[in-house]
Amino acid sequence: MAIAVESHGLSGAQAMQKRAFDFVLAAVGLLLSWWLILLAWLAASVDTRGNGFFTQPRVGKGGKVFTVVKIKTMRPSRELTTTVTQSGDPRITPLGRFFRKTKIDELPQLWNVLLGDMSFVGPRPDVPGFADTLEGDERLLLSIRPGITGPATLKYRNEEEILAAQDDPEAYNRDVIWPDKVRINLDYIRHWRMADDLKYIWQTVVG
């Protein structure tokens, strides 16, 4: 039975439970995967001809901006400057596609989780211009840490393919996908359960 979360978000006890779980799992994850992160960083550095780590400002809990860390999967392009990535995006390298498909590019975010910038489960951290513009009840999304995965992330696991099929990917992302993600994530917060977090993590791992 789901426990409804009050309008302001998770209770203090729920937030502590979620954070304790994140901290322990992130610490274990880094201990087990540091070597893979190192190898991926080295390979990405050669592949992209630069630092193999991709860093970017993202909007976190309370609207606070933090720096997310991922394995770099794209080369810069003078022609394409959009932050919306589609399937077949020429900026993505062949090795980068492998990292994205296997989710290896997400592993450095364990560091963000350990620091408390992120959670394992929650709304994906967006670049400024989306989450920081939320108003009214929708600002409930900013009451929790953004996540590596979550119900909206799983629904739109093929987001790049969806966007590639649109005439105007940026408009479709802004007008269709983003509002639906907000709705899904609000429902997640209002009916939060640790069991659901475990389910979303499992579904992400097994694909």
**Residues 32-91 pLDDT 10s:** 999 999 999 999 999 999 999 999 999 999 999 999 999 999 887 666 556 556 556 778
pLDDT at 21 over 90: yes
For the entire predicted model, the pTM comes to 0.86
Domain count, the chain: 1
pLDDT at 22 over 50: yes
Taken as a whole, the chain contains a residue count of 207
Within a domain: residue 5?
no
**Nearest in space to 57 (alpha carbons), one of 47, 72, 43, 68:** 68
- Note down the domain range covering 80: 12-206
Give yes or no for a contact between 56 and 98, defined as CB atoms under 8 angstroms apart: no
pLDDT at 10 over 50: yes
Within a domain: residue 59?
yes
Within a domain: residue 155?
yes
Within a domain: residue 6?
no
Cα separation, 181 vs 53, in Å, equals: 27
